[in-house]
Amino acid sequence: MSVEAASPARMRLWERPNFVPITALITWSLLMLALCDAFRKKHDYGNYVKQWRLVLNGADPWSTDNAYGPLHNVIALLLPFGVLVPKFFMVGALLAANFALAMSLLRTRGMSPILVVYLAAVPTNVLTIGVGVTYGLNDALVAAFVVAAILFRFSDRLYAAGVMIGLAALLKYYPLLLLPLFALNGRRLEWSVIAAGVAIFCVGMIAAFAVWGESAFHGIGFGVNRHAKLLSIIHPLELLLGGAAWVRWSLQYNAVLVVSAVAAVFLWAWKNERHWLEAAVLGYLAMLIFYKCGNQQYYLPWLFMVAALPLVGQRSADRMAIILLPVVLLLSLYQFGYEFGSDQYHNQLGWVRDYGGLIAFPVGVLAIAACMMFAGKDATSPPLMPQPAVPTR
């Protein structure tokens, strides 16, 4: 066979690099779209439809249990085209973001063993499939925005990265705390990330106020005043030690606790000059484990952030991804029991609903501590699992 005939450009399709993983990715995405359709209106999606109908009827969309930002209301414009069209929009955005992330991982790391982290966090994770696809929750759109922000940040499109975080915060407010973490650059801050994110968030809130008045801020108050539940450590402590003053303080001033946890991670990352994605992954996890409303769907964007860690291409990020695998697997196991092993932890395995935080919290804290402890001084060292050499097209 001649050299010309054997060149990558002349390879048959199935012989080309990455043909198998790309085919598997496309097949998985199509299967997810089928699941999205099969499960119809499930979990909170039925409540979304009621809220969107209020928007279309000119009523106050926050007059019910709407805890979301104004961008959630904009999705109502898709409802007249079909009751599942908004769901397909959010799930489609998640699948598109996942495809872009997976392709970036393949280009950056090839078929390196470190990609087992991506496999555990996304395509095989029961929480990713359940919350992001079968339920079709708006956390899927938040995750899509966060993935876009990660990819923009890696390509030094700083304003675009900030805009994506701002849009995510207009759906669910807490991603706004990611802005200073995404802005880290050694001991400097890329202020354009923060400025773009804050600007798009403020413009969105001002526009919402112009349309809905003071109700536009109801979601913020709703989130601050929510009850502790599910994976939150505060929920079991409330059941066991509800009379303790510090437990009551944790409930009443939970926002202070959450911001303090993120600030602590930020200061650690700034002092030790950690990569911005490492800081964001740990900061987001710290935010969630201290937030009193420990719904599992909040972890969906975080799973994609963990999956993106191999893009850093440094030993510390690879090590962090491996250390965080127990948390990734715990979330998958929790969602499996929630969906298939119980009645959502009400009568069956009800102790998980009440005391699951006693497991989730120490696992999360130990994971963060281990990541900080073993980060070492190898921020610029080669990755733990370099990608094998692959022919290029």
pLDDT in tens, 245-302: 888 888 888 999 999 999 999 999 999 999 999 999 999 999 999 998 889 999 999 9
DSSP state of 81: G
SS3 392: coil
Residue type, 277: L
pTM (2 d.p.): 0.91
CA-based nearest residue to 376, from 237, 308, 278, 295 = 278
Computed over every residue of the chain, the mean pLDDT equals 90
Q: What percent of the chain has pLDDT over 90?
A: 73
Weakest-pLDDT range from 24-33, 68-77, 289-298, 370-379: 370-379
In the three-class reduction of DSSP (H, G, I as helix; E, B as strand; rest coil), residue 347 is classed as coil
- The residue written with tokens 């298939």 in the block is 340
Q: Exposure pattern of 166-198 as b/e (b: 16+ CB <10 Å)?
A: bbbbbbbbbbbbbbbbbbbeeeebbeebbbbbb
Could you read off the pLDDT of 6-58 as tens digits, one per residue? 455 566 655 666 788 899 999 999 999 999 999 988 888 999 999 999 999 98
List the single range of 217-226, 269-278, 375-384 with lowest mean pLDDT.
375-384
Strand residue runs (E) in 67-213: 184-185, 188-189
Q: What pLDDT, on the 0 to 100 scale, is given for residue 2?
A: 44
